[in-house]
Chain A
Amino acid sequence: MDIKIVNTVEALLFGAGRPLRLSEIRGLLESDGLIAELSDIKKCINELEQRFNLSSLEITEVASGFRLQIKQTYSAPITHLWNERTPRISKALMETISIISYKQPVTRGDIEDIRGVSVSTQSIRSLLERNWIKVTGFKDAPGRPALYSTTKEFLDDLNLKSISELPELPEVDEGPNDQVLSEVI
């Protein structure tokens, strides 16, 4: 590959601070007079991956595109650098986001039904503020409650390409209860 294109792709990934799509990269290259096909850009990325082999950096593909990351083996010192400034996520909030991610789109009521406890406005707001969830519609039910779904940013933040990469939702332990239930029905 043309070294200039490879380097420009590297520069873009480094300067972006967010994931970039191949098509986005193509557009940016074009505005600089560099013509490259999507497959060429993918080759550039592969070449850069090779280049980064011996460094602390790596390129990862997440839901919103390709981004430059620090290899996880080198994150510990950075954690000390940032002094654990990232807010912790409570158990309750984690339950809420996992219900949204596996059952989306869901209403607040759906989450409450499963968790058996009321879901505070605060926790929904904090997920919205994190850009982990978004309102994707309103349920055709009394009060027209908002339907929440996870965002690409949520997948990005968990280093995932798509929601299907989440570990499978554990199955219910089906046991003799099945029989009881079928009797009831």
Chain B
Amino acid sequence: MQNTTQTQLEFPMVMGQPYETLPEDLFIPPNALELCLETFSGPMDLLLYLIKKENINILELDVSNITDQYIEYIDLMDALQFELAAEYLVMAATLAEIKSRMMLPRDKHDEEEEDPKSALIKRLQEYQRYKSASEKMALMPRVDRDFYTATAALPEIKIEKKEISITKEELASIFNEIKSRPDLKLSHQIDFEELSTQERIQIILNILSRRNVISFSKTLRKSEGRHGVVVTFLASLELAKDGHVELIQNKTEEMFLKSLRGA
């Protein structure tokens, strides 16, 4: 599959001539070339592809020829404003260096240094070993692609583990706080409502049917004590809410209930 994409990268032949430059008005879908180039995993891969295309052994590498082709490729990519990885340019520089060295007469003393061409060949050979190994590996049966496991296992449920971080001081103060909390667990008896708000509303309405205004204290029965005050107050609020009475209070004076029915 990768090979087919690579062959597409070869220059098309038009009337027996390689068609190397793209017409300017040619529409190239965005990312198309990027996709093609992604078939090369790096400059070494591109170089190997060029060598393979020439149908030669790596050892017979014609640096001069390959350099020209490589740079042509880089130029083409550049013309298409494809952002190249820096490594492609490094490789172009390495190739250019080898090519230029070959043009110069060789000094015997220089040979002590490792010949950059054989160093490149060594790297290419090494890379090719792993490249072909990776191609073989890619074809090996792989789980969930070529074969599947048979299982009735429960699907993995991700349980978020929350880390607890606490100091001993924090722990102590939390414990103290809990200890000082009111004990709300004691059982207690709920008494019947001795005085009903509904009943009190009825009583107040009865009084107000006879007179228009009544002071709050007059609606109370002393015997009922504090509970009576609360119930009566609630009843007055209920009545005010429903619009039966108006609550009037002047400064320090006590509260009066004024009937609104008559108004």
- A positions within 8 Å CB-CB of B: 14-18, 57, 67-70, 72, 75, 78-79, 82, 86, 89-92, 94-95, 97-99, 101-102, 114-118, 156-159, 166-167, 169-173, 175-177, 180-181, 183-184
Contact = CB atoms under 8 A, between A and B. Distances in A.
14 contacts: A15-B153, A72-B146, A90-B38, A91-B134, A95-B131, A98-B130, A114-B123, A116-B91, A116-B123, A117-B43, A169-B130, A170-B128, A170-B132, A177-B121
Interface in B110-143: 111, 114-115, 118, 121-123, 125-138, 140-143
Contacts of B130: 95, 98-99, 102, 114-115, 169
Contacts of A89: 138
A16 B140 contact: no
A173 B122 contact: no
Contacts of A181: 118, 122
A140 B91 CA distance: 29
Give the 6 A-B CB pairs with smallest separation, nearest first: A17-B153, A117-B42, A98-B134, A17-B151, A116-B44, A92-B41
Nearest to B143: A157
Contacts of B140: 158-159
A114 B128 CA distance: 9
Given A16-B153, A175-B57, A180-B115, A169 B133 contact: yes
B41 A177 contact: no
B58 interface: yes
B147 interface: yes
B157 to A, nearest CB: 13
B192 interface: no
Given A16-B151, A69-B150, A95 B118 contact: no
A18 B153 contact: yes
Interface string B19-56: 00000000000000000001101111100000000000
Contact of B149 (A70, A90, A91): A70
Given A114-B123, A172-B126, 16 more contacts: A16-B151, A16-B153, A17-B152, A18-B149, A69-B150, A78-B148, A86-B145, A92-B42, A98-B137, A115-B130, A166-B133, A170-B133, A173-B125, A180-B115, A184-B111, A184-B114
A171 B42 CA distance: 22
A116 B144 contact: no
B206 interface: no
B134 A114 contact: no
B150 A57 contact: yes
A101 B104 CA distance: 42
A98 B149 contact: no
Contacts of B125: 172-173
A118 B42 CA distance: 9
A115 B42 contact: yes
A118 B144 CA distance: 29
Nearest to A159: B141
B9 interface: no
B88 to A, nearest CB: 9
B118 A69 contact: no
A54 to B, nearest CB: 15
B2 interface: yes
Contacts of A170: 128-129, 132-133
A41 B176 CA distance: 57
Looking at B126, B130, B144, B146, which has the most chain A CB atoms within 10 Å of its CB? Answer: B130
Given A68-B151, A177-B121, A95 B43 contact: no
